[in-house]
Amino acid sequence: MIEIKDLHKSYKMGSNSLHVLKGINFSVEAGELVAIMGSSGSGKSTLLNIIGMLDEADEGEYDLDGIPIKNLNETKAANYRNKFLGFIFQSFNLINYKTALENVALPLYYQKMPRKQRQEKAMKYLEQVGLKEWSHHLPSELSGGQKQRVAIARAMVAEPKVLLADELTGALDSTTSYEVMELIQKINDQGNTILVVTHETDIAQMCKRIVYLRDGVIIKDEKVKQVRAKAHV
């Protein structure tokens, strides 16, 4: 699903340049649940942003489901993000004046899907994350866990090839974190490919594979025995 070869990225900081990714080789099969682990500054977020087409690599190759991701203009990148990727952020990033349902339906709006169809589909995904009764509430009326579940529904609604989650439990307490991870595992069980960036070991252990990143290189890449989150809830 994801094919990355010899990826480099550096940031210019005044006269110095900071080499963040120093040749990443990495691939993900369809249906995998991968955790990318590393301390801050290891380059894990940069890697995720490049995979998410929010940022561009300096060097190297990146194929997403056989499509080379290179030299995209803004409009094309936006269309690819819309069709191929779903994002889940640490700070949820819901639009605060839109209801849960409207937030979930937004990616479909950019696919130019008719309004009615959009709302039906968004409602279906809200139901999947267990928030059907909260569909007409604003984000400010939801708890942290509920917000993140709305964000997950929004990431899922366009049926993307890959879900990208950046520290998705970073703003949640551990009980809520496990509930959210349980949902992630459930979605993965349905065959969806998911990448999770985290620095929490227990969250990483709930994935099927862990990639360790340090100073811009992969130091370890191993399959692990998945800890089911349900046991902790």
Q: Residue 187 has which token pair?
A: 């979605």
Q: Name which of 113 and 229 has its Cβ closer to another protein.
A: 113
Q: Name which of 84 and 134 has its Cβ closer to another protein.
A: 84
Please report, as ranges, the residues that interact with another protein according to CB under 8 A.
49, 52, 54-55, 74-75, 78-79, 81-83, 87, 89, 93-95, 97-98, 102, 106-107, 109-112, 115, 154, 158
Give least dist CB 145 to another protein, A.
19
Give least dist CB 94 to another protein, A.
8
Q: Name which of 85 and 229 has its Cβ closer to another protein.
A: 85
Q: Are 197 and 2 in contact (CB under 8 A)?
A: no
Estimate to the nearest angstrom the gap between the alpha carbon of 117 and the chain centroid. Answer: 25
Distance (Å, whole) CA 96 – CA 23: 39
| Closest residue by Cα to residue 160 from 117, 98, 110 | 110
Total Cβ atoms within 10 A of residue 157 = 25
Distances in Å between the alpha carbon of 227 and those of 38, 59, 60, 196? 19, 36, 34, 15
Distances in Å between the alpha carbon of 212 and those of 48, 222, 231? 13, 9, 25
Q: Name which of 89 and 212 has its Cβ closer to another protein.
A: 89
Give least dist CB 135 to another protein, A.
16
Give least dist CB 125 to another protein, A.
13
Give least dist CB 150 to another protein, A.
12
Give least dist CB 201 to another protein, A.
26
Q: Name which of 25 and 49 has its Cβ closer to another protein.
A: 49
Q: Are 163 and 187 in contact (CB under 8 A)?
A: yes
Q: Name which of 171 and 227 has its Cβ closer to another protein.
A: 171
Cα-Cα-Cα-Cα torsion 23, 196, 78, 46, nearest 10 degrees, comes to: -40
